[in-house]
A = this chain, B = another copy of it.
Amino acid sequence: MEDLKRSAKTPRYVEIFEALRADIGSGVFAVGTLLPSEARLCARFNVSRFTVREALRRLQTEGMVSRTQGAGSRVLRDTPSGVFVQNYRSVSDLSQYAAETDLEVLKVEETILCADVAGRIGQSEGETWVLLRSLRRTPEAAPLAMVESYVPLRFKAIAPGLADSAGPIYAGLARAAGEEIERVDQETQALPAPYHVADALGVAEGAPVLRILRRYASKSGLLIASFNWHHGGDRYIHRTRIMLERE
């Protein structure tokens, strides 16, 4: 049992959240180890399980701990460390990024475009495209991004090989199509992680993730569109330089 000074305003679970965060930061609970079980934390702070779970939920959405039914709560990181940085402002930067990381194909399947995706990639709802789902990793095998690439149906046969070939997916496709990329643009959003993304990246469902949609177009139209789902928090920082133009 342990007593914390009780402010009149801040809820108890915030105090416990901050106490645990401080303990993690100071190394009392080392990265990679398990936190005490909920029952033990209840005893330590002398509160009910609801209060402890509320505190743990906050640690989870901060990305500091992962929680698994049956296994316990594991400390993922203590401070903003292990930052992976991507820096690009041109397609050659994109190529280099692809060359320095590994891509593992998770699934290839035909899919009917839903209204949301269709609208975002400028196609009609109900069309059939190929969805290539893959996982991009650092050389150390840490998951970096879950990539969902939408490819026209006529490329279905070669789709699985695109990830294995050297270089980025869009380059392989452009080569296969005998066309050149003419335009690339992107849309960036912060979203709560859906089930399948949370699973692939190893974050909590609903935790903040960065989604970058890149559209690669040739002269004849959209060649490929890919949603890149990245870690939220400090684990992924997206760097860009902005062009200057003198009047």
A residues sitting closer than 8 Å to B (CB atoms) are: 58, 61-62, 80, 88-92, 94, 116, 181-192, 206-210, 214, 230, 232-234, 236-245, 247
Contact = CB atoms under 8 A, between A and B. Distances in A.
Judged by DSSP, the binding face of A is strand
A53 to B, nearest CB: 11
Given A207-B192, A209-B208, A239-B186, A181 B230 contact: no
A189 B206 CA distance: 16
Contacts of A181: 244
Identical copies of this chain, number: 2
A92 to B, nearest CB: 6
A232 B90 contact: no
Contact of A232 (B208, B238, B241): B208
B233 A182 contact: no
A187 B241 CA distance: 9
